[in-house]
Amino acid sequence: MTDAEAAFARLSPALRYQIVNGLGFAALRPVQAMTIGPVLDGEHVVVLAPTAGGKTEAAFFPLLSRMDSEDHAPLSLLYVSPIRALLNNQRDRLEHLAGLLGRRVFTWHGDVPQGERRRFLKEPTDILLTTPESLEVMLMSPRVPARRLFAGLRAVVIDEVHAFVRDDRGGHLAAVLERLTRLCGRDLQRVALSATVGNPDDILAWLRGSSQRPGRVLRAPGASVQPELVLDYVASEANAAKAVAKLFVGDKRLVFVESRRAAEQMANTLHAQGVAVFVSHSSLSVDARAQAERAFAEARDCVIVATSALELGIDVGDLDRVLQLDAPGTVASFLQRMGRTGRRPGARTNCTFLCTEPTRLVQAAALLRLHRQGYIEPVRAPQRAAHLLAHQLLAMAIEHGGVPESDAWAWVAGAAPFAGLTVDDYRALIAHMLAQGILHRDGGRLSLGEDGEKRYGRKNFEALYAVFDAPRVLTVMWAGQEVGQVDAQFLSMQQEEGDGVVPEARPKGPMAFVLGGKAWRVTSVEWGRAVVHVRPAEDARIARWMGQPVVRSRVLCEAIREVLTSEDVDPWWSSRAREAIAAQRAEHEFLPREGSCLIDAPGALRWWTFAGGAANHLIARTLDGMLGASVTADDLGVTLREGAGSSEAGVRQALASLAARGGPDLHDARAVVGRMSGAGRVSKFQPCLTPEMLGDLLVERLFDIDAALAVVAGR
């Protein structure tokens, strides 16, 4: 008996029968076979496998087997996804799997009607599909009997775990899992799924939290067939659209872009060229996205233009080709996108890059070189997330009608984002929140104070459901149906100032925009209700949305230097890409192959560090404080102007002094943050934090101290 056969034999008889006869499996995939034993043995598991590599079945086969053989009562299994679209996409699949054993599934998120939720609470299903925010709603809502509902919970499956760990939503989820463990009185088994992650052991530690269960990382065997890659230079977005229209005609093509505006621009241009095109991004309504993705899945010769939202395993049918406009910011993102192809037997994964600017072409070439070297970015989880601890204190205070101060820390202390916090930090946080009136103490119990009620209670109660702020957007409505959302600032720039309803006659010029690949003309705007009413139009400008700036890492920037300073020509470069990269190499022939360099630039000195934006901005702000001059930074280097830029010797002396004392270090970073005015709002829970905690949060968000130290020290 082979190892795979032995693993299969451990599943319950009923499930074995259904896998063969209900699903028609001739054999399990390697990752499915290797997952059975550890999960049946109760271990925590991180499962790594390519998109469409069988991860979902790998997790659910052994968990369903335990549910069947041990006769678990509902609700016993939780499935958590980062986005609603993936929940909806997985629902039919998981309903089918569970239904083979007579088990039931329910999906709970903001779009599910209240009547369906009430029926679920009255008669829970075996498996619940949800998001972290909806879990928080269930714990906090007085209408949800959370203790009874989760009393039988045994295990949690976290899909696309890398999308959680890297931001506040992951910290929030980790804390909620600790609360669920305490609520059900059971050490919950945790299974995490991902296609791409560079530090799986760290992900396992994040997943484990306070649990004492053993755990392991399971990685699917690598693909033996090399992907089909093309790197092309097209010089403009208009040329990129022409290339998309002409390339792979007759195939189903998925085009990834780096912004919602770029998605609308590409779709609008393709539509004008007669291409059957669909759009998917986060500012479209749920129905609009679902219709686009369904239509794309059912069509053949067509294109869907999407942002990163379609990286996350959502099924859009039998995809032929992935095209990438310019380059994503990480190798992991590239792998997620390319992994949407090559699912048919004998097919190869593929990706064609269409780069619109020389700098973006070089970045794409650097990403592909890192991929060839087997590099994937590590996902770093915060460990001193005091703002998330404040969020959890407020949530628990509402959930329990006041939480014992002596006990609240124990509820969440085991969560990974609090691993670097101490009991003294917890006490300092509570003291500050009490002093600010955010919390109120009565007989050793903590509840919302007067300021806490104003900020997070009553009409602002929903502010506690999620850990992130939603940008100011307006809902776009046509004929009573939601089309999507548009940025309020974009719309206000096209109108006369005014309050209330703004009639069509008052805009400056024709007020219209493209959303969902279609042109819409504004008929009225209700600012008070945050609603804009539209009707179809013939033509319009592309809508814009506010977004976070993309900061490239040190590893990627050093790969960019490697592309610029080497003479290698990679086999996937087109002739146009070779010519454009050769021109970039000639323009940067002064760069060394290793290390940094300080050179004269027009009216300034330029220090090429290749340390990444987060490191360079810390270096720039530190030098600015030392030299009292104008110092700016970007991903590839630091530029010194005015007084600081007039003396190379002075700059070198400042750098030597900084290196000699081991800077820039945490002290320098805190000092820089202290000098910053209007650093921005990085969390809606900033008012809860002491000045020191807020400073450390800003340091973590803004700077890469390790990379800055290394480049200043010449490492």
Residue 342 — very low, low, confident or very high, per pLDDT cuts 50/70/90?
confident
Residue 678 — very low, low, confident or very high, per pLDDT cuts 50/70/90?
low
Q: Are strands 439-442 and 445-448 parallel, antiparallel or unpaired?
A: antiparallel
Question: How many CB atoms lie under 10 A from the CB of residue 709?
Answer: 22
Find the angle CA(311)-CA(530)-CA(392) to the nearest 5 degrees.
60
Radius of gyration of the chain (CA): 27
Q: What is the pLDDT of residue 496?
A: 40
Domain 3-219 falls in which CATH fold?
A: Rossmann fold (3.40.50)
Q: What is the pLDDT of residue 67?
A: 96
- CA-to-CA distance for 365 and 585, rounded, in angstroms? 13
pLDDT one-digit tens code per residue, 307-324: 887 766 666 667 889 999
Average pLDDT of every residue of the chain: 87
pLDDT at 149 over 50: yes
Beta bridge partners of 156: 78, 190
Largest CA distance in the chain: 79
Q: Measuring CA to CA, which residue among 334, 369, 326 is closest to residue 235? A: 326
CATH of domain 228-372: 3.40.50.300
One fold for 3-219 and 386-464: no
Q: What is the pLDDT of residue 286?
A: 75
Percent of the chain with pLDDT over 70: 91
- CA-to-CA distance for 227 and 615, rounded, in angstroms? 33
**Any residues with CB less than 8 A from the CB of 619 and at least 6 apart, and which?**
609, 611, 633, 638, 664, 708, 711, 712
Q: Measuring CA to CA, which residue among 418, 333, 324 is closest to residue 379? A: 333
pLDDT one-digit tens code per residue, 414-429: 999 999 999 999 999 9
Q: What is the pLDDT of residue 445?
A: 93
Which range is least confidently modeled, 9-23, 152-166, 483-497, 602-616?
A: 483-497
Instruction: Name the DSSP class of 130.
Output: E
Between 506 and 378, whose confidence is greater?
Answer: 378
Between 295 and 383, whose confidence is greater?
Answer: 383
pLDDT at 586 over 90: yes
Q: What is the pLDDT of residue 499?
A: 35
Q: What is the mean pLDDT of residues 209-228?
A: 87
Q: What is the pLDDT of residue 502?
A: 41
Q: What is the pLDDT of residue 493?
A: 59
Q: What is the pLDDT of residue 500?
A: 38
Residue 61 — very low, low, confident or very high, per pLDDT cuts 50/70/90?
very high
What residue spans define the domains of the chain?
Answer: 3-219, 228-372, 386-464, 473-542, 595-712
Q: What is the mean pLDDT of residues 192-202?
A: 89
pLDDT one-digit tens code per residue, 426-464: 999 999 999 999 999 998 999 999 999 888 875 555 656
Beta bridge partners of 669: none
Peptide bond into 354 cis (omega under 30): no
Q: What is the pLDDT of residue 550?
A: 78
Percent of the chain with pLDDT over 90: 56
Dihedral angle computed from the Cα positions of residues 38, 41, 42 and 44, in that order, rounded to the nearest 10 degrees: -20
Token couple for 178:
């600790």
Residues 538-542: contacts with CB within 8 Å, 24+ apart?
539/512, 540/510, 540/512, 540/513, 540/514, 541/512, 541/513, 541/514, 542/261, 542/264, 542/265, 542/268, 542/513, 542/514
pLDDT at 401 over 90: no
pLDDT one-digit tens code per residue, 150-187: 999 999 999 989 888 878 889 999 999 999 999 999 99
Helix (H) or strand (E) holding 47: strand 44-48
Residues 395 and 466 sit within 8 Å (Cβ to Cβ): no
Domain 386-464 falls in which CATH fold?
A: Arc Repressor Mutant, subunit A (1.10.10)
82: burial class by Cβ within 10 Å (0-12, 13-18, 19+)? buried
Residue 470 — very low, low, confident or very high, per pLDDT cuts 50/70/90?
low
State pTM to two decimals: 0.86
